Amino acid sequence: PNNSLYRCTNYESTLEAIRDKLVDRLGGYLRLRHADGQLILDWVSIEQYGNYSTQPIGFGLNLLDYSETTSTEDVATALIPLGATLEDETEIDALEKRVDITSVNDGKNYVFSQEAVEQFGWVWATNTWDDVTKPQNLKRKAEEWLSGTQFETMSLTLTAADLSELGHDYNAFAEGDRVHCLAKPYGMDIVLPVMKLTIPLQNPAGRTLELSTKQQKTYTRQQSAARNELRNRQNDAINTSNRNIQISIDNLTAMMTGAKGGYKLTEYDEDGRWLRDLYMDTPDKTTARRILQINKDGIAASTTGYEGPYTVGITVDGQILGSWIAANSIDTNQLSIGLNNWIKGTDDGIASKVEKDGIISAINQSSEEVAIQAKRINLNGSVTANNYFKIKTDGSMEAVAGQIGGFNINSDYIAFGDWTHAGNWLSMCTPHGGAGDVYLGKGGISTDSYDGKSGSIVRSIKLTEGIIGFYKGAYECGFVGMSDGSEIRLSLMDSEKNYIVNVYKNWLELPVLTQITGDLSVLGSKARCVQTRDYGSRKLYAYETPTPYFGDIGEAVIAEDGFCYVPIDPVFAQCVSPEGYQVFLQAYGAGELVLDSRRGGHFLVSGTPGTAFGWELKAKQIDFDQLRMTEDRGLADTSTTNYGAEAASYLTSITEGRITA
């Protein structure tokens, strides 16, 4: 196994067997040659295939064009190698153990590539060689595998001038030659074999070389190789299983045929009736360790003495107990294993029980009945009952008719007590219709009367969790609800599902630009929250006046003639009352300032030439200049409004002709 390799064919073609079992697994190349009138196929290494070319390919020398293709698929930087299965005739557990490299690798069971770890990090992989039994050989194969397959597979396509045709003392390029490639601007300094050589007939000097450590496969060859690899793994698994079975057979045979003599003890009861036979490794059962006992209830074996425990045995009621069962050693149509499961068959039924709190079921064949008692029932797949009731795999349910929680359901209506669904309406009606009737349909909720005591159509709508939607046409306009125990929200949305207003218990949120067309009054102060860099969010309070005012602020400088003409923004001028405005001046320095005149579109300031100053203009808001500290009348008194009567009249008008008997 360590110095020889065995390969078996499976009636595939000769070329397929050579490629799969030799070239793909062990590397190398195939070469055809003629000798003594015969065509010979050689399997050689790259060193045997071609020569080391004395002519390099170098940037600035003979390299005309360069392209590089790399792949990092399945890159691993550390490998845990596993060898053959350990074969120990005395330890059954050893069947699960394999040869490793800890004994020859400083106690480590892995090898790694330092260069690959620095580039890709620690990427682990495991590979198994079933035919390697020596740790030193396993380590060598692991290092070859890691260095030969874990770095990037590189393919170079180069266009190079053949200097040998230009009179230089170099050999011409040939397929299989190993060429030293140098191109520092591209980061290339490597020796690669020539996998493909193309010489254009019209331009022999423009030959193209493809250099690679591995020739790229076509998609068809990749798929074929994948299928072959899968088939080989299946065959290896079968061979391993058969080998393990043979090991078990050999182990059992050796134990039975090579066992030395022991001691047999037959015991009887006080009436002289046979009790048991004991086969032991010592004459006294109190000192024996390995005991095989046979009695009327079965056969059992213990390796810890007469008192047990007995870990291997067969009972007369059909139970088999053991720590393991070799594969293919039992051939039966059904195998049931369990400690707490029991199956009992009768002519009338089958009953099964799984543990204390599990599933209890009964199938009674005589009465054609199935009864199930369980905390949960798991069904995989669809359930169908006479094509009238179906539970589909996506969780949906179909039923022709039936009763659910007091509801009577069929294809024409849904009824529950006084509630009936028919057509487009869900209704709750009095025996003769009229007062107290409520209808739920596509048009909304309607009623023929109202509750005179409360004065309202709907006394209340209570939501523990959920949403009540309001619709106009096809668009959802708002909803109430979304309560999680701490938050209740009223929201309004536009047709694009964008929130316009969110009303919470303690605040109002306007997520988008909002316009209020009426007056706005608040009982508290008005402030704007500003997020500062060092002091968090702070409130800046509004400047309020008895009369609605607008203001504007600016800066100017007195000219050399002692005057400064300050125009009023024309847009601002149209927002304020034309009945006058106030101007406040602040000099920046020792100069003097005087408001010389005010006009509709500007004001004139005189003073010391060169004096800079700031100004503030205030004017009453247009159309609101007559307001001054208006009395706050609060909310209107609605205690005498009969909302029920008004609502009943409105609903009667919109439901006329809609509700039929």
Least confident of 430-439, 557-566, 624-633: 430-439
Whether residues 545 and 608 share a domain: the answer is yes
Could you tell me the pLDDT band of residue 546, with boundaries at 50, 70 and 90?
very high
Report, as an integer, the average pLDDT of 226-233: 64
- The answer to whether residues 212 and 194 touch, using CB atoms and an 8 Å cutoff, is no
Q: Sign of the C-alpha dihedral, residues 641, 642, 644, 650?
A: negative
Residues 635 and 630: their CA atoms lie apart, in Å, by: 15
Q: What is the pLDDT of residue 65?
A: 73
pLDDT band at 277 (very low <50, low <70, confident <90, very high): very high
Question: What percent of the chain clears pLDDT 70, i.e. is strictly above it?
Answer: 58
The residue out of 196, 218, 240 marking a domain boundary is 218
Asked if the model's pLDDT at residue 531 lies above 80, the reply is yes
Asked if 127 contacts 145 with a C-beta cutoff of 8 angstroms, the reply is yes
Place 101 in a pLDDT band, splitting at 50, 70 and 90: very high
**Distance from chain centroid for Cα 430:** 55
Considering the domain architecture, whether residues 16 and 68 belong to the same structural domain is answered as no
Q: Give the mean model confidence (pLDDT) for residues 102-126.
A: 86
Say yes or no to pLDDT of 349 above 50: no
pLDDT band at 55 (very low <50, low <70, confident <90, very high): confident
Average pLDDT of 153-159? 65
Is residue 244 assigned to a domain? no
- Report whether pLDDT(613) > 80: yes
Q: Considering 322, 337, 365, which residue would you say is the last residue of a domain? A: 322
The residue-averaged pLDDT of 37-51 equals 83
User: Dihedrals φ, ψ of 300, to 5°?
Assistant: -145, 155
Confidence of residue 640 (pLDDT cuts 50, 70, 90): low
Average pLDDT over residues 354-360: 44
pLDDT at 477 over 90: no
Mark whether 557 and 490 lie in a shared domain: no
* In a domain? residue 165: yes
Q: How much is the pLDDT for 414?
A: 66
Domain count, the chain: 6
Note the pLDDT of residue 220. 45
pTM of the model: 0.30
- Reply yes or no on whether the pLDDT at 331 is more than 70: no
Stretch 122-130: mean pLDDT, rounded? Answer: 88
Residues 86 and 198 in one domain: yes
Residue 138 belongs to some domain of the structure: yes
CATH number at residue 561: 2.60.40
Q: Where in the sequence is the domain holding 576, given as residue range(s)? A: 527-620
Are 535 and 509 part of one and the same domain? no
Whether the per-residue pLDDT at 270 is higher than 70: the answer is: yes
Query: Residues 492, 539: one domain?
Result: no
- Are 486 and 569 found together in one domain? no
Q: Are residues 125 and 214 in the same domain?
A: yes
Each residue's pLDDT tens digit, 199-223: 887 777 667 777 776 554 444 454 5
Q: How far apart are the C-alpha atoms of 609 and 558, rounded to whole Å?
A: 5
303 or 356: which carries more pLDDT confidence?
A: 303
The answer to whether residue 565 sits within a structural domain is yes
Q: Is the pLDDT of residue 553 over 90?
A: yes
pLDDT at res. 453: 38
Task: Please report which confidence band the pLDDT of residue 356 belongs to, taking 50, 70 and 90 as the band edges.
Answer: very low
Same structural domain, 314 and 403: no
The verdict on 23 and 136 lying in the same domain is: no
Q: How confident is the model at residue 111 (pLDDT cuts 50, 70, 90)?
A: very high
Q: Are residues 38 and 132 in the same domain?
A: no
Q: How confident is the model at residue 621 (pLDDT cuts 50, 70, 90)?
A: very high
pLDDT confidence of residue 138: 94
Q: What is the predicted pLDDT for the residue at 451?
A: 43
In what order do the strands lie in the sheet containing 549-557? 549-557, 612-620, 582-588
Segments of 219-269 assigned E as strands: 263-268
Q: What is the pLDDT of residues 412-429, one digit of tens each?
A: 666 655 556 555 555 555
Q: Is the Cβ–Cβ distance between 165 and 172 less than 8 Å?
A: yes
The per-residue pLDDT of the chain, averaged, comes to: 73
Give the pLDDT mean for 117-126: 82
pLDDT of residue 438: 55
Let me know if residue 179 belongs to a domain. Answer: yes
Of 315-324, 461-470, 614-623, the least confident: 461-470
- Please report, to the nearest 10 degrees, the dihedral formed by the alpha carbons of residues 297, 301, 305, 310 taken in order: -70
| Rounded mean pLDDT, 98-118 | 89
Confidence class for position 587, pLDDT limits 50, 70, 90: very high
Per the DSSP assignment, residues forming a β-bridge with 57 are: 181
Strand order of the β-sheet with 320-321 is 263-268, 274-280, 291-295, 298-302, 312-315, 320-321
**Both 58 and 148 in a single domain?**
yes
The residue among 280, 304, 322 that closes a domain is 322
**pLDDT recorded at residue 94:** 43
Is the residue at 240 inside a domain?
no
Lowest mean pLDDT of 158-172, 257-271, 273-287, 474-488, name the range.
474-488
**Domain-embedded: residue 611:** yes
Residue 232, pLDDT above cutoff 60:
yes
* pLDDT for position 593: 94
Alpha carbons 49 and 212: distance in angstroms, whole number: 14
Percent of the chain beyond pLDDT 90? 18
pLDDT at residue 503, rounded to an integer: 78
> Hey, what are 653's tokens?
């008008």
- Does residue 110 lie within any of the structural domains? yes
